[in-house]
Structure 1
């Protein structure tokens, strides 16, 4: 049995654009698990508000780089790590852009590559560039001021990191977009589509 750990933010967690959380059978990690079958375990470790390396002054424990090694121990040995972060990095109060988000992804990968104290094999990594942010609505409009333009550059910087560290790469902006309801989160169709695009990538890694 292979263990696939999906490490992300609310887009992985399953936040619904209308509020609340999608059911288990509607979130892309769980949908991916259904496609891969019972011989593989897909773990959804999404956390709303999680960033790559930034400490959120309004939410504790959201710095993704600080908990990645603990996650790999808790669920280890992990065969494949699917990493989709960066949307929250573009919040106005962090004052960073796509380049810095990619540097955050790079720092997480460096921590993933540190030898395991339990002699676990280093997981293979899939980097997903988050979808482009649309026009955020309501409170999100202030929070993500300027982020629409910044998000359009995520994929090129993430692809550079993926090439540098020999990771698989998926540009989700090329296949999905957030719901127009809030401009940030994925609807049911986007969750389904993302799971479909990931399936062959994961299968290829499992067969090598």
Structure 2
């Protein structure tokens, strides 16, 4: 059996869900894998509130497990804490480099984030460009905006308006599945 690690923050962990083990995006991708006969185990390495720097610090724990696919979703909490886009990129790049050193043949995917230009004082363009630059630099499968179709949709988020509901995660899983599926190997 091969392993897929979703490594991220509350958007990976499934913050606010009644049962994140069944409703968060990694669990929904596991269901898709099972339904299509793929022999993969999805690991949810999400930690609510995590930043790119925090992810870099805790990465070694996860690298002690055999991994075949690494899916990275971090960065939005950094911008909320006014960490510079340059530092966010540096941390995310260091995470990817560390993964590649440990597993040179691993397949990589990046779940990008976007912030609206409506938020004054934030370096929106610099932040929004981080993810494409990182994906290009490492030839990673890329989802430009992980929350596409869910962000700002009241009926697809929990009460805080920031985190997807179980229904919101279904939308996310449908949108990211076509990016993840080409990374898979099917044993017959």
Structures share fold, TM-score greater than 0.5:
yes
Match of 1:128 among 111, 124, 131: 111
Match of 2:93 among 106, 123, 129: 106
Conservation of the 8 A alpha-carbon contact between 1:126 and 1:168: yes
RMSD between aligned residues: 2.7
- Which TM-score applies when normalising by structure 2? 0.80
| Structure 1 residue 69 corresponds to structure 2 residue 66 | no
Shift of 1:131: 5.1
Conservation of the 8 A alpha-carbon contact between 2:158 and 2:164: no
Alignment correspondent of 1:189 = 167
Match of 1:22 among 18, 24, 37: 18
Return closer, same or farther for 1:187/1:97 CA change in 2, 3 Å cut-off.
farther
The structure with more helix, counted as a fraction of residues? 2
Conservation of the 8 A alpha-carbon contact between 1:83 and 1:127: yes
User: Which consecutive residues of structure 2, in runs of 5 or more, have no partner in the other structure?
Assistant: none
User: Which consecutive residues of structure 1, in runs of 5 or more, have no partner in the other structure?
Assistant: 54-62, 136-144
Aligned length: 177
Match of 1:88 among 77, 85, 90: 77
- Which TM-score applies when normalising by structure 1? 0.73
Conservation of the 8 A alpha-carbon contact between 1:133 and 1:177: no
Alignment correspondent of 1:176 = 150
Secondary structure in 1 matching 2:52: coil
Conservation of the 8 A alpha-carbon contact between 2:13 and 2:46: yes
Residue deviations 1:23-79, cap 9 Å, x none?
1221111011000116211111111111111xxxxxxxxx11022132021x21x11
Counterpart Cα distance in 2 of 1:108 and 1:99: 14
